[in-house]
Structure 1
Amino acid sequence: MPRDLPIIDAHHHFWDLTHNDHPWLRPDHPPIPFRYGDYSALRGKDFLPEDYDALTGHHRVVASVTMEGEWNPADPTGESRWITQLHARTGRPAAHVAQAWLDRDDVEEVLATQAAMPLVKGVRHKPRIAAAPHLVERGAPGSMSDPRWRAGYARLASQRLHFELQAPWWHLDEALDLIEAHPETPLVLNHTGLPADRSAEGLAGWRAAMLRLARAPQASVKISGLGLRGRPWSLEDNRPIIRETIEIFGVPRCMFASNFPVDGLCGSFVTIYDGFRSAVADLPWADQLALFHDNAIRTYRLSLPLAAHLA
């Protein structure tokens, strides 16, 4: 029998669509372009702690971190306030990554408000992205190289907030520029740099970009979001990406995460976490504890004991 492994899920969502406003998930809102294609299975459906718990199966999730779920941007702190209330009622989540729009006039006020909530450890602002590597436009409004956007990023350190980046790998050089300009701000790359193109050329581009980003010790990565449009999640598809990511960044800078309920469009929680565990089953037990548990404690400054003593 496999050894008991405590898991901290480093990236998932909760939403209560009955009471809260996530425009992209409302049945009456036009569907948005989505990397997994049809996401109608998510629309109009709440996802709360009891829904999460019903999916984890034999995996022992001891804590988790919620990610902003594109709450109505007219109220960028509303989701964090709701998550704080949810935590008060249920003890969940252990930490939250909040919404912030770094190029807005109200960024200073929003960051201060977010940082004042103890659960909030970092923020995410999905920057403007290009559809392909050759279409990247440096300095484009809303991009990571936009001076206005960068000015907002410069405010994170004073609030003790790290930054979470969701962007395809061809924008990672812009992220490296940000890190070099603001080395005091940690950056957590979401969803493994989005290696959706699994062609030899696509993987070569992803690998080179990840190697460049990994030169910055302030950068870490969440191994998550590995689903492929139109294909069920499989270890065969994803083991090479998982192992290369760990090789590039090293065990101390990698974390596993479910991205649920979104990645439920590609596979069950049990399938995905069984795959994660199988992909690293040959690594030392201390490394497995770091990847599934301890690295999340350090990244999100959680008041939980490390599991390294179990090694």
Structure 2
Amino acid sequence: MAKPRIVDAHHHFWDAERNYHPWLRDQPPIPFRYGDYSGLRRVYLAPDLLADAAAYDVVGTVYVETEWDPRDPVGEMDYVARLRRESGLPSVAVAQAWLDREDAPALLERLAGFDFVRSVRHKPRANPAPGDGRPGGMADPAWRAGFAELARNGLRFDLQTPWWHLHEAVDLARAFPDTTIILNHTGLPADRSAQGIADWRAAMAGVAACDNVMVKISGVGVRGQPWTVEANREIVLTTIDLFGTDRAMFASNFPVDGLCASYDEIYGGFERITAGFAAEERARLFCDNACRIYDLTPRGG
């Protein structure tokens, strides 16, 4: 039987022994949503990903910036270019860019010069809990001025923010309709209480109404709990219901989500949850949407 064909729409490679990633090198460790992340302080490159994903035909991948040394975001893409020459992966990349810095316009122009860079990510400042009503980073004029430079450079934006800031993402999407925004990690639905799910769904519905917003179904692990179909079925199906099968895509977030589950448990879970979908719908979620949204040519065409 042929292996299922996938494009992993969100993963990381790193070698913190050779390159400076503050969160992987410095002490003490930073607060992390999955808790202890000491298991990530190791080399993780293309052979490791392909070994983890051995049950699947990985025809393409999207590398996402790794909190590399913030003084040298171009250096990370130079490193990715070398990885591509050595292993053929990743297919495309999401680069680091600090949108609220004065050099943002020049930096975005340099990043767009890499023929494999499709998007950038700068996690906007977020409040620690939904009850905190202070504006987040997406409302900052300097940050938005940097964001305004994306379309001119043909770049998308990968947005990682908790669901209680998605009203700001709605405003951003409407203010910049020509920029594709790709919501990372399903809006981070960590609170699985009935009220937590209801509030997350309402926030997701708002941003899903914006046609220029896509979503990656990934990063849905919960600290201290196993990754199971039962735990994540509602999250996955609700996201697909809101965004449709044309604007959603599956991703591993490896090696980070390896803290919660194996690659097979995550992708096998996605397979089981969507078992009742039409074949063309599953093809879009597992492969085709990532190719279209990130302008990625899969191996084998």
TM range (shorter): over 0.9
Aligned pair partner of 1:212 in 206, 224, 232:
206
Deviation at 1:304, TM superposition (A): 3.3
Q: Is residue 2:179 matched to residue 1:185?
A: yes
Show the counterpart of 2:94. 97
In the alignment of these two chains, the number of paired residues is 301
What is the correspondence of 1:1-311 to structure 2 with a 5 Å cutoff? 4-26=3-25, 28-43=26-41, 45-138=42-135, 143-304=137-298
Deviation at 1:287, TM superposition (A): 0.3
Deviation at 1:4, TM superposition (A): 4.3
Q: Distance in 1 between matches of 2:300 and 2:276?
A: 21
CA contact (8 A) 1:297 1:306 kept: no
TM-score (norm 2): 0.97
Deviation at 1:62, TM superposition (A): 1.5
CA contact (8 A) 1:5 1:289 kept: no
Identical amino acids, percent of aligned pairs = 52
Q: Distance in 2 between matches of 1:200 and 1:67?
A: 32
Q: Distance in 1 between matches of 2:151 and 2:291?
A: 19
Deviation at 1:61, TM superposition (A): 1.3
| More deviation, 56-65/213-222 | 56-65
The residue type paired with residue 176 of structure 1 is V
Deviation at 1:57, TM superposition (A): 3.0
Deviation at 1:272, TM superposition (A): 0.6
CA-to-aligned-CA distance 1:176-220 (integer Å, 9 cap, x gap): 111111100000000000000001111111000111101100001
The residue type paired with residue 80 of structure 2 is I
**Over the residues paired in the alignment, what is the CA RMSD in angstroms?**
1.3
The residue type paired with residue 58 of structure 2 is V
Q: Distance in 2 between matches of 1:106 and 1:230?
A: 40
CA contact (8 A) 2:60 2:298 kept: no
CA contact (8 A) 1:168 1:194 kept: yes
Please list every run of 5 or more consecutive structure 2 residues that lacks an aligned counterpart in the other structure.
none
CA contact (8 A) 1:163 1:188 kept: yes
Deviation at 1:306, TM superposition (A): 9.4
Q: Distance in 1 between matches of 2:75 and 2:200?
A: 35
The residue type paired with residue 14 of structure 2 is W
Deviation at 1:29, TM superposition (A): 2.5
Q: Distance in 2 between matches of 1:52 and 1:293?
A: 17
The residue type paired with residue 226 of structure 1 is V
The residue type paired with residue 247 of structure 2 is R
TM-score (norm 1): 0.94
Deviation at 1:18, TM superposition (A): 2.1
Q: Distance in 1 between matches of 2:295 and 2:49?
A: 23
Q: Distance in 1 between matches of 2:210 and 2:94?
A: 22
The residue type paired with residue 163 of structure 2 is W
CA contact (8 A) 2:151 2:178 kept: yes
Q: Distance in 1 between matches of 2:206 and 2:130?
A: 15
Please list every run of 5 or more consecutive structure 1 residues that lacks an aligned counterpart in the other structure.
none
Deviation at 1:148, TM superposition (A): 0.7
CA contact (8 A) 1:136 1:171 kept: no
CA contact (8 A) 1:94 1:119 kept: yes
